[in-house]
Structure 1
Amino acid sequence: MKKTTFACLLGAAALVAGTANAAELGAVDQPIKLAINEWTGQHVTTHIAGEMLKAAGYKVEYVTAGMLNQFQAIADGEIHATLEIWSSNVSDEYAIKISEGTVVELGDLELAAKEGIAYPAHVAELCPGLPAWEALKACAPLFATAETLPAGRLVDYPADWGTPGADRMTGLELPFKAVPAGSEGALIAELRASTERKTPLLVTFWQPHWAMSAYDVKFVDLPAGEEACFADPAWGPNPNAINDCDFAPSRIFKAAWSGTAETWPAAYEILSNYTLNVADQQPMMGAIDVDGGKVKEVVAAWMEANEASWRPVVDAAIK
């Protein structure tokens, strides 16, 4: 696992925090309860934060909570923090609780979330000009299959996830036919087969995901996904269509119960300054989802190997 990227992201936060006086620990006899949501990456994110809090001298409990409906429990102080909120998939309740002042935002996690049209790295050798999206116009026949001829084949998200890949092919007038994958597992199987056989593949995918690292997946460079692109046909390279651009960018951030800062001042500072790099998270996801590792064991190994990265954030808050 990488030992430097996380340190780079944390360095600035640690430097800023280190210029201030150390915070009080607060109610160390009361456990800090962290939300555990539905996906592996969030488990990794949360357990790293939990281990940092333990290193500072706190007790930590992990509470299973649905991502969309966790905010009432946080507002009530039944859960004290949630560490990986995606702007692309957050309930309206979050904004309500923020406006009420019962939930407070802790800043960006700085995990580089992205959805897009992607390909295994070796495909760039087959289609010169990638990652520029315009290269796909000439290369489309390379991606064709019996079911898509003469168009190229794009493996899109499963049908019940929507048709974002197909929308981009239409918007950008690219000669590709989008074929829905049967499941997330089917998308991964396509990436695996393409990587092993060095065959062409274009796929709708996202990060953070362990497969991004395992199969060296790259994103096609599309026009920026600005809001106007999704409503105004005149915006973008195709004046006759919307969706002629990349996916809308996602922000990943953290939030806490409004009483956290007063109850555990140093913990609040640690969680506020905590960030995580996708290059660190994705291999841990793979160690869990692919290799069968336990979240606690995988995170513990990472913490031990990367103490120089996370320890300054803890020390800045308590010393």
Structure 2
Amino acid sequence: MMKTVKRFWFGVTATAALATGMGHAAEMGAIETPIKLAVNEWTGQHVTTRIAGEMLKAAGYKVEYVTAGYMNMYQALGNGEIDAAMEIWSSNVSDEYGKQLAAGKVTEIGDLGLEAKEGIAYPAHVAEICPGLPAVEALRDCAGQFATAETLPAGRLVDYPADWGTPGAERITGFDLPFKAVPAGSEGALITELRASTEKKSPLLITFWQPHWAMSAYDIKFVDLPVGEEACFEDPAWGSNPNATHDCGFAPTRVFKATWSGLAGKWPAAAEILANLQLSVEEQQPMMGAVDVDGKSVEETVDAWMQANPDKWKPVVDAAIQ
């Protein structure tokens, strides 16, 4: 998905159904009115949203998929123009979300289940080129292996595209590593770098994230960094480098779900279903690969997954309506 340097430290707000496990049978509510699900700009979110929609349809609801800009959709969610957003990243969410949440117009309905992670990463074969990885200190001794004409004598870190922020560069400064961060031109450029490094068995250090299909395709590993916490980003005294902030990993990211606050009253069983929907990285990443690499449509990919895995979603639907 897209990244920015904004960080928000929202607490976890879960429904009672999620807190106690599987939901219980609830009233269906306004079944003739479509439930509008937000469709944002990245493949994983398309997969998540389509699964949610098909579960609602299996319960007997009508569903409408609404294309919505991820950073700009929260007022529409608060107004009920969109009924649910199924994959919100706490590391990358606009101020408007917090305003709508505080006003009681938006309700969080629990985490999605994705183990989201961002960090400094490398294809697995690079550990042979730079012994000591995944320890961050190993990069001091083998920086020259990553050097290019553009960065000599420093090693090269391929950072996120410039409009996603510069989190890789912040870690280079934070840990005082002999590297230079070079922004990638796009997400596609990051993938091109990974493909070339894997094919040639060449050194590569990159800023990356999961879930992403490339994590599996190119056997990507993360450099071990101390757990990121708010003080690390604000106080130079925190961490191993007393002269800089960001001498830690990325801020832990929650991936959670939220609805228009009127959804549970209008469609009680749908609220149960959406609250109890869970999706793991191991389930989502192959579906992302089927779409982005194999060229399959989101619809056929999700349909195949649901047919092959009724045990993952059908009990959630049945518990809400029976």
Give the match for residue 148 of structure 2. Answer: 145
* 3-state SS, counterpart of residue 190 of structure 1: helix
Q: Conserved in 1, the CA contact under 8 Å of 2:237 and 2:243?
A: yes
Q: Deviation digits for residues 102-130 of structure 1, max 9, x if unmatched? A: 21111111212222100011112222221
Q: Deviation digits for residues 14-34 of structure 1, max 9, x if unmatched? A: 89444x641122222221111
Report the CA distance between 1:46 and its aligned residue: 0.3
- Return the alpha-carbon distance in structure 2 between the equivalents of residues 69 and 173 of structure 1: 36
Are residues 1:200 and 2:203 paired? yes
Q: Which residue of 272, 276, 299 maps to 1:273? A: 276
Q: Which residue of 256, 263, 277 maps to 2:259? A: 256
Give the match for residue 300 of structure 2. Answer: 297
Are residues 1:315 and 2:285 paired? no
* 3-state SS, counterpart of residue 85 of structure 1: strand
- Return the alpha-carbon distance in structure 2 between the equivalents of residues 34 and 154 of structure 1: 38
- Return the alpha-carbon distance in structure 2 between the equivalents of residues 124 and 130 of structure 1: 6
- Return the alpha-carbon distance in structure 2 between the equivalents of residues 70 and 238 of structure 1: 39
- Return the alpha-carbon distance in structure 2 between the equivalents of residues 149 and 71 of structure 1: 45
Report the CA distance between 1:194 and its aligned residue: 0.7
Amino acid in the other structure paired with 1:188: I
Q: Conserved in 1, the CA contact under 8 Å of 2:18 and 2:275?
A: no
How well do the aligned residues superpose, as a CA RMSD in angstroms? 1.8
% identical aligned pairs? 74
TM-score, normalised relative to structure 2: 0.90
Amino acid in the other structure paired with 1:75: G
1:155–1:313 CA distance, 2 compared to 1 (3 A): same
Q: Which residue of 26, 43, 52 maps to 2:46? A: 43
- Return the alpha-carbon distance in structure 1 between the equivalents of residues 82 and 19 of structure 2: 29
- Return the alpha-carbon distance in structure 1 between the equivalents of residues 216 and 90 of structure 2: 23
Unaligned runs of 5+ residues in structure 1 are: 1-12
Q: Deviation digits for residues 285-306 of structure 1, max 9, x if unmatched? A: 1211222211111111111111
Q: Conserved in 2, the CA contact under 8 Å of 1:144 and 1:150?
A: yes
Q: Conserved in 1, the CA contact under 8 Å of 2:18 and 2:110?
A: no
Give the match for residue 81 of structure 2. Answer: 78
TM-score, normalised relative to structure 1: 0.91
Report the CA distance between 1:35 and its aligned residue: 0.8
Unaligned runs of 5+ residues in structure 2 are: 1-16
Q: Deviation digits for residues 106-158 of structure 1, max 9, x if unmatched? A: 11112122221000111122222211111212222222223323322211122
Amino acid in the other structure paired with 2:218: Y
Q: Deviation digits for residues 263-303 of structure 1, max 9, x if unmatched? A: 11111011011121112112211211222211111111111
* 3-state SS, counterpart of residue 226 of structure 2: coil
Aligned residues, how many? 306
